């Protein structure tokens, strides 16, 4: 696969590290940047043979098969439409659009062009996420009834993120997109998100967008997806997931406190980890940041999907659904009410399935709970199937 990377900023360098640092058959042949000096420097750093400041020419180049879009949010639509015009597979960073309208336009363009649209949602490819998802899909924790995802840090790197118009919002569109898609995977992508209740506020920064938010996303089967996001959390980047099922629970700490801790006086002043606020004292480095954040598995899935002519695990359609949920979250934050998720092109199931059966104690009773008390006494609580009375055994 011959690749073009659009953008020369922070995320594009993460992508380049993932694509170039390991021995692999896929190669980056083109870098596009709006600033010529930055594009040339990027090309020199990663030994990329071509660079350009012309978006359409970079995409249409004869040595480009697929395009990795690492541009600011307000440029995603333009880039994807150019990819569709040139029949080049676009792999777009999150969020897909600034809103569902933009995302749907991109989805339709990719579908019409007959190309693969890959949604670069890296946190749905981390090793812990993939292991958690496989466990859930095997039935290890039963039916998922509540999935909670948290991403908080001191704020994004680039100035455009802080511009509400360019970014499409604040912490919700930047971080909530990760959390929403993580919960969608755990709950089941074929289950329709129906409504959202969201609190959002600008608590710390002198910006027009929100820097903190909490929301509940309700699904058609009764499951709840919860996200917590912040641009004012101090101490680094905190990524955590919790999943509660009828037969078990998953807790995953993906970043910040992962079991790797180091103390230093800070003499070297070297890089520690993304969003780390200090290079001295007790620090929490990451062994292989690119791998731990999911980039390696993500690009492998994208390129193998293109090779095989199939859709990757994260598609433009997923990006569109995420944007639709985000739109509902922003509306709820204003109205202080549950707001419906408006999906113009729903491709999941409209049949609500309850995966678990109510456990029976005997023919006449449901089992509510069994436990052993500190005294050693065993207690069983049941419900009479006919009368509904709660009884102790």
How do residues 358-393 score in pLDDT, each as one tens digit? 889 999 999 999 999 899 999 999 999 999 999 998
In this predicted structure, the answer to whether residue 351 has a pLDDT above a threshold of 90 is no
Summarize the confidence of residues 74-93 as an average pLDDT: 98
How do residues 99-109 score in pLDDT, each as one tens digit? 999 999 999 99
- Residue 136 pLDDT class (50, 70, 90 cuts): very high
Any domain includes 231: yes
Last residue of a domain, one of 61, 91, 121: 121
In this structure, the answer to whether residues 116 and 151 fall within a common structural domain is no
pLDDT at 92: 98
In this structure, the answer to whether residues 113 and 167 fall within a common structural domain is no
- Residue 192 pLDDT class (50, 70, 90 cuts): very high
Average of per-residue pLDDT values in the chain: 93
In this structure, the answer to whether residues 66 and 131 fall within a common structural domain is no
In this structure, the answer to whether residues 117 and 171 fall within a common structural domain is no
Any domain includes 209: yes
CATH code for the domain in which residue 59 is found = 3.40.50.720
pLDDT at 354: 65
Any domain includes 353: no
In this predicted structure, the answer to whether residue 286 has a pLDDT above a threshold of 90 is no
In this predicted structure, the answer to whether residue 180 has a pLDDT above a threshold of 70 is yes
In this structure, the answer to whether residues 146 and 255 fall within a common structural domain is yes
Question: Number of folded domains in the chain?
Answer: 3
In this structure, the answer to whether residues 18 and 89 fall within a common structural domain is yes
The more confident residue out of 18 and 302 is 302
In this structure, the answer to whether residues 50 and 159 fall within a common structural domain is no
Last residue of a domain, one of 121, 139, 159: 121
In this predicted structure, the answer to whether residue 21 has a pLDDT above a threshold of 80 is no
In this structure, the answer to whether residues 140 and 264 fall within a common structural domain is yes
Any domain includes 27: yes
In this predicted structure, the answer to whether residue 312 has a pLDDT above a threshold of 90 is yes
CATH code for the domain in which residue 318 is found = 3.30.360.10
In this structure, the answer to whether residues 237 and 322 fall within a common structural domain is yes
Any domain includes 242: yes
In this predicted structure, the answer to whether residue 24 has a pLDDT above a threshold of 80 is no
- For 174, the domain range is 123-340
pTM for this predicted structure: 0.92
- Residue 14 pLDDT class (50, 70, 90 cuts): confident
In this structure, the answer to whether residues 81 and 70 fall within a common structural domain is yes
Closest CA to 221 of 276, 318, 296, 146: 146
pLDDT at 23: 61
Any domain includes 99: yes
Residue whose entry in the numeric block shows the structure tokens 């993580």: 182
The answer to whether the CB of 153 falls within 8 A of the CB of 230 is yes
In this predicted structure, the answer to whether residue 298 has a pLDDT above a threshold of 80 is yes
Token couple for 305: 């999907």
- Residue 283 pLDDT class (50, 70, 90 cuts): confident
- Residue 22 pLDDT class (50, 70, 90 cuts): low
Worst-scoring range by mean pLDDT, 149-153, 240-244, 271-275, 314-318? Answer: 271-275
Any domain includes 26: yes
How do residues 254-278 score in pLDDT, each as one tens digit? 888 878 888 888 887 777 777 778 8
In this structure, the answer to whether residues 291 and 170 fall within a common structural domain is yes
pLDDT at 185: 98
In this structure, the answer to whether residues 103 and 136 fall within a common structural domain is no
Any domain includes 351: no
pLDDT at 112: 98
């Amino acid at each position: 696969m011959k690749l073009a990377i659009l953008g020369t900023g922070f995320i594009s360098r993460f992508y380049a590290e993932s694509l170039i640092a390991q021995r692999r058959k896929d190669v980056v042949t083109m870098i596009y940047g709006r600033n010529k000096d930055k594009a040339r420097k990027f090309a020199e750093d990663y030994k990329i043979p071509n660079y350009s400041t012309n978006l359409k020419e970079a995409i249409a180049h004869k040595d480009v098969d697929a395009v990795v879009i690492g541009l600011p949010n307000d440029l995603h639509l333009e880039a994807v439409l150019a990819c569709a015009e040139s029949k080049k597979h676009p792999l777009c960073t999150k969020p897909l659009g600034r809103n569902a309208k933009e995302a749907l336009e991109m989805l339709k363009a990719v579908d019409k062009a007959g190309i693969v649209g890959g949604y670069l949602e890296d946190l749905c490819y981390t090793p812990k996420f993939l292991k958690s998802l496989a466990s859930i899909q095997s039935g290890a924790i039963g039916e998922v009834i509540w999935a909670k995802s948290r991403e908080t840090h001191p704020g994004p790197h680039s100035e455009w993120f802080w511009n509400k118009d360019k970014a499409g919002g604040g912490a919700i569109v930047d971080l909530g997109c990760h959390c929403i898609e993580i919960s969608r995977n755990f709950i089941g992508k074929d289950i329709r998100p129906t409504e959202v209740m969201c609190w959002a506020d600008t608590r710390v920064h002198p910006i027009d967008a929100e820097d903190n938010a909490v929301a509940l996303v309700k699904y058609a089967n009764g499951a709840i997806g919860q996200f917590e996001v912040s641009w004012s959390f101090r101490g680094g980047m905190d990524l955590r997931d919790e999943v509660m099922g009828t037969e078990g629970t998953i807790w995953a700490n993906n970043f910040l406190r992962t079991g790797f801790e180091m103390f230093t006086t800070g003499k070297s002043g070297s890089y520690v980890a993304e969003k780390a606020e200090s290079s001295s004292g007790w620090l929490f480095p990451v062994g292989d940041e690119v791998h731990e954040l999911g980039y390696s598995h993500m690009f492998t899935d994208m390129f193998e999907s293109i090779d095989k002519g199939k859709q990757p695990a994260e598609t433009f359609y997923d990006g569109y659904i995420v944007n639709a949920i985000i739109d509902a979250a922003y509306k709820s934050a204003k109205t202080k009410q549950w707001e419906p998720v408006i999906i113009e092109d729903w491709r999941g199931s409209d049949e609500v399935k309850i995966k678990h059966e109510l456990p029976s104690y005997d023919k006449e009773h449901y089992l509510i709970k069994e436990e052993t008390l500190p005294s050693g006494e065993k207690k069983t609580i049941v419900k009479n199937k006919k009368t509904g009375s709660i009884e102790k055994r």
